[in-house]
Chains A and B, each alone.
Chain A
Amino acid sequence: MTTLQGILPGAASRPEQETPRRRASRALKPARTPAGVAVALALTAGLGLTAVEVVAALMGERIGLVPVDQAADLAAEHPWSNPFVVGGALVAAVLGTILLLLALLPGRARLVAVETTDPRLVIGITRSGLRRTLRAVAEDVEGVIRAKVRLRPRQIEVVVVTEADRTGATLRQVGAAVGDRLNGLGALCASEVVVRLRRRGL
């Protein structure tokens, strides 16, 4: 399938010029599928039924799927200052603003990008998958009973529950294990890892 970005001048040389983070963010940006499907479905149904109704009316038939005549009568009877018209206009403006924001804001990707050497390859790991693999390495550290991982925009928070008395050593070991896993994976996400320790029963 030919896309606009594929036939634009310079498109062939672009992948080599992009950084891995930029390349991954372009490929993994949310496609806004639920909103797109909902709006497209509403438009298709509304426009299609209205077109059928108008064509039928022009040919002297009445189908009654869409009340075009009643809408035209209401518009001919009521002024612009009608409270329902003004209220409807406000609702339309708010809805339009929401759709514009959905279109323009980049949004949070469902996959966390992983660094690659191949400019034509993008690897992403699911956020839940990244949490599970980090939790697994944290729970492998001696003395850790269980761990919980949160992915925040600027840091990765690891909360471990432990019975160990020497909490400083456990903290360093968990931080090193999680950092090693992140470095090995090459995840292009928050690089700061915060480890919090909790004693069992607290």
Chain B
Amino acid sequence: MRQYTGNRVGLAVVGAILLGAGAYTFLRGTGTLPAQPKGARILRPGLAAYLAQHPWACWAAALVLVLLAMLALRWLLMAAGWGRIGSRDGTGTALLCVGLKDVEGVGRTRVRVVGKQRLRLAVTCPPAADVGAVAGRLDREVVGRIRREVGDDEMGALVRLHVRRSGPVSTR
């Protein structure tokens, strides 16, 4: 089980393109590149005439832009959590509460199933709770039981343990 890597791939691609384009433009502007005069115009004078003679090139560029925009939209949706957050599972949450019923003051518990392949659990304990015992119980019995009820034994599971500030118990 590993963290979602789509953002890192996207950031690496965009970063490499920006770095490459920026470095090329800087070297071209300072006249460092051989056989490339720094006084030349950025767009060649004959480009407009070429595009007028070959309109398919503009349509091809528009198609590439549309495809790139769709790819970026997909990245945006994935980065915002689409398909990664999953849905709440009442049975799993009930089993989690039953498994931790001996721990006094356990507040917020939540079980989410992500694509029938992964479980995401969240447990909030009071400061006085023995979080080691909570983690041990989750490891030995509770998560396995939830897996069997919600999906299968091969499901990966990620548990987020949190210890809240001292104060009234919130049971959201």
Q: Which residues of A contact B (CB under 8 A)?
A: 1, 5, 15, 23, 26-33, 35-37, 39-41, 43-44, 47-48, 50-51, 54-55, 58, 72, 75-82, 85-86, 88-104, 111, 114, 116-118, 120-126, 128-130, 132-133, 135-136, 181, 183-186
- Known A72-B43, A89-B26, A93-B18: A51·B62 in contact at CB below 8 Å: yes
Question: With the chains together, A126 CA to B31 CA distance in Å?
Answer: 52
Q: Check B139 for interface membership: any CB of A closer than 8 A.
A: yes
Partner of B17, one of A48, A79, A96, A125: A96
A157 to B47, CA, bound (A): 65
Contact at A184–B29, with CB atoms within 8 Å? no
25 residue pairs A–B, Cβ–Cβ below 8 Å? A27-B3, A27-B158, A28-B3, A31-B7, A40-B79, A43-B72, A43-B76, A44-B69, A54-B61, A76-B41, A80-B38, A81-B31, A82-B29, A95-B15, A97-B15, A98-B15, A99-B14, A100-B11, A103-B8, A103-B15, A116-B135, A120-B157, A126-B161, A126-B163, A129-B164
Provide the residues of chain B in CB contact with A132, threshold 8 Å: 127, 163-165
| A116/B75 in contact, CB under 8 A | no
Counting residue pairs across A and B whose Cβ atoms lie within 8 Å, the total is 269
The chain B residues found within 8 Å of chain A, CB to CB, are 1-12, 14-26, 28-31, 36, 38-43, 45, 47-48, 55, 58-59, 61-62, 65-66, 68-69, 72-73, 75-76, 79-80, 83-84, 114-115, 117, 125, 127-133, 135-136, 138-140, 143-144, 154-165
